[in-house]
Every structure is written in C-alpha cells, then in structure tokens.
Amino acid sequence: MCPFCEKSQFTIKRGTYKRYSDNKKISRYHCKSCNKSFSDQTLSSDYRLRKRDLGKKILKLINEGISQRGCARILGVNKKTVSSRVKCFSGLLDQQKHF
C-alpha cells in the first residue's frame, strides 16, 4: 500500500537497494497513482537513522540507570543524539498505550 495516496492496486515493485548501515537489502516500490517511490523502510521507526543499532544500546544503558550524558560518553555520540532517541522511545511508548 502506498503511504502517500494509500492505494494498493497501483503499487508495483521496482527493485532493491542495500542499506548503508547494515548492508540489508530493502525492497523499493513505485505507485502509479501518485507517481511516487517508497521502500519497506519508509514507515519504520528507524527511517533515515544512520546508526540503527544505537537505539537498543541507549535503551539498555538508560534501563541500567545511566544518565543520558553518561550514555553519550560511553557510546561516543553527541548528547543531542541520545536525547532525540530517548524522545523517540517515549513517543513510541505513548502510541502503544493508546492501543
């Protein structure tokens, strides 16, 4: 189903590409109705993230009681990166509570 126009009968498969961060093959699609391209990755929670495995590490450290600043220092990333990932986690938890 196309995430832009939400029509499924006009969607065709249009190849694959290798994701840079983990070399996983991702399928690409093209919608003939709205003439836009998208992939399996488009609607995922880690869309456009460079370090996909970082979220699991941050969550583990936060659960162990380490501060965001400590997580950033241990993982060698910026404090803002850790902060944005924690905000993303809280947004996902809020969405799950509504269902």
Tokens standing for residue 54? 């970082």
Q: Is residue 80 part of a domain?
A: yes
pLDDT exceeds 50 at position 99: no
Q: Is residue 49 part of a domain?
A: no
- For 85, the enclosing helix (H) or strand (E) is helix 79-98
7: domain range? 1-44
89 and 67 co-located in one domain: yes
For 5-28, the pLDDT digits (tens) are: 877 778 888 888 888 777 889 889
Packing angle, helices 79-98 and 54-63, rounded to 10: 80
List, in sequence order, every residue forming a beta bridge with 84; answer none if it has no partner: none
| Closest C-alpha among 63, 8, 74, 83 to residue 38 | 8
For 27-74, the pLDDT digits (tens) are: 898 988 888 888 888 877 677 677 777 888 888 998 899 999 999 999
Question: Does the predicted TM-score (pTM) go above 0.85?
Answer: no
